[in-house]
Structure 1
């Protein structure tokens, strides 16, 4: 695992369709696992982020109203859109890690044929998958506000940048 680089922070406001997260930024750790991207699941689990999986990213906007999520690219590349149609797109490659606060809309735009990603949740929280215009928006906004802050950073554990940047403001 690489030494912590300066994380990149991105805020996404409620766009009227996807709630996003009004208080917590998306955190991008560029190259956090470069050299050992296949260790993503072990790293996340070792830092207390469990209920992990390896697969891809849906090609439609979705979000999780009851859990924060870490995503670590293990193989290939992805162009991922965050924050809804008017959000931002990010080119991620093997070794990059991105942490999505509960409510953050995300979808795959394109990915390389060998693309794989690992996801995990703080303390192994169960997660739901919410869709835009599913009639649950108001309930989802209430759920997002109740999701507790993680006790650890998914990459750096007890002393990671997430703990500094994810404070209720």
Structure 2
């Protein structure tokens, strides 16, 4: 399994979404091969690394975020355009085989999806995700986002995956 990684850092709040000043959104391009593009396959792969809370569907069509958990999305079918980072954020095209690691606090909203678009979402060990709409000032959300621990493993690549390397480099002192 290989992937091309795109990073997007949303350091400032946008439209009621706190975002995350320390951790970049990670987009893994073409990481899931044909055999891995199912809910069962992703459950086995990420579940073996302790990730949990699996669900299958689409991305909500309104700006929302999780202040208490990071979230992983694996695209198993179709295409979609998702805006990350709130109303002023990046519009990212996703296709079957892509995966996204969304840091706690980073807003996401489906702008468009093909009729067959489907993704699987899941969360790091110990995480209990909340759901907050990006409609009002986030209040204590930034403090809650800052308190979310880094996952010990990348859900797709394990202990030395891009999530671990790139996120740990952003928060570890030099």
- Do they superpose with TM above 0.5? yes
Query: What is the alpha-carbon distance in structure 1 between the residues aligned to residue 111 and residue 97 of structure 2?
Result: 19
* SS of corresponding position for 1:44: helix
Alignment of 1:74-85 (within 5 A): 74-85=76-87
- Structure 2 counterpart of 1:60: 62
CA contact (8 A) 2:4 2:30 kept: no
* TM superposition shift of 1:115: 1.0
- The answer (yes or no) to whether the contact 1:51–1:124 under 8 Å persists in 2 is no
1:131 corresponding residue in structure 2: 133
Superposed displacement of residue 34, structure 1: 2.5
SS in 1 for 2:163: helix
CA drift of 1:90 comes to 0.9
Shift of 1:15: 2.9
How far residue 76 of structure 1 moved from its aligned partner, in angstroms, is 0.9
Cα shift readout 1:16-70 (whole Å, capped 9, x = no counterpart): 4211100001111101103221122322212221111111110000000000000
Match of 1:33 in 2: 32
Deviation at 1:156, TM superposition (A): 0.4
In 1: Cα distance, 2:136 partner to 2:43 partner: 31
CA contact (8 A) 2:153 2:161 kept: yes
For the aligned residue pairs, the C-alpha RMSD in angstroms reads 1.4
- SS of equivalent residue, structure 2 residue 47: helix
Whether the aligned pair in 1 keeps the contact of 2:86 and 2:134 (CA below 8 Å) is: no
Deviation, structure 1 residue 124: 4.8
Q: Could you list the per-position Cα deviations for residues 134-159 of structure 1 after superposition, in whole angstroms to 9, with x for gaps in the alignment?
A: 45x12111110100000000110112
In structure 2, do the counterparts of structure 1 residues 124 and 56 end up closer, same or farther at CA, with 3 Å as the change threshold? Answer: farther
Q: Does 1:10 align with 2:8?
A: yes
